[in-house]
Amino acid sequence: MRTKSPHLIKINYDNESTGGLPIPVLTISNFSTAGDKINALCIGRLHPGETQGSWMIDGFIQQLLSPESHYIREKVIFKIVPMANVDGVVLGNFRTGIMGRDLNRCFHLSDRYN
């Protein structure tokens, strides 16, 4: 991802899916501003077939990077996972991940699969 705002966004590729695919995590904030900030997490594409989630996340990112959002970037650190279920997307699944489970219903089981 190329951006005209490198001072506002950091992209981390250290996370990996169950299937071994990278899961990018974007951090958007005004990094030059010190002080306590609120942390906000936004996750997209938990269900691979819900493609509108990608459009929503894209618009959200574009808005956060726009000049109009300068005030909220001063107060909030946004952690954004644009595509949480990359395995399901790559496999062409509609709701499930690589393990055949609906990830939206299995958060309480996450320790069993690590």
Q: Which amino acid is at 8?
A: L
| 69-107: pLDDT as tens digits | 999 999 999 999 999 999 999 999 988 888 888 877 766
Q: What is the pTM of this model?
A: 0.84
Q: What are phi and psi of 22, to 5 degrees?
A: -70, 140
- What mean pLDDT value characterizes the chain? 88
* Cβ atoms 57, 49 nearer than 8 A: no
Q: What was the pLDDT predicted at 109?
A: 57
How far, in Å, CA of 31 to CA of 42, rounded? 19
Nearest to 24 by CA among 11, 36, 37: 11
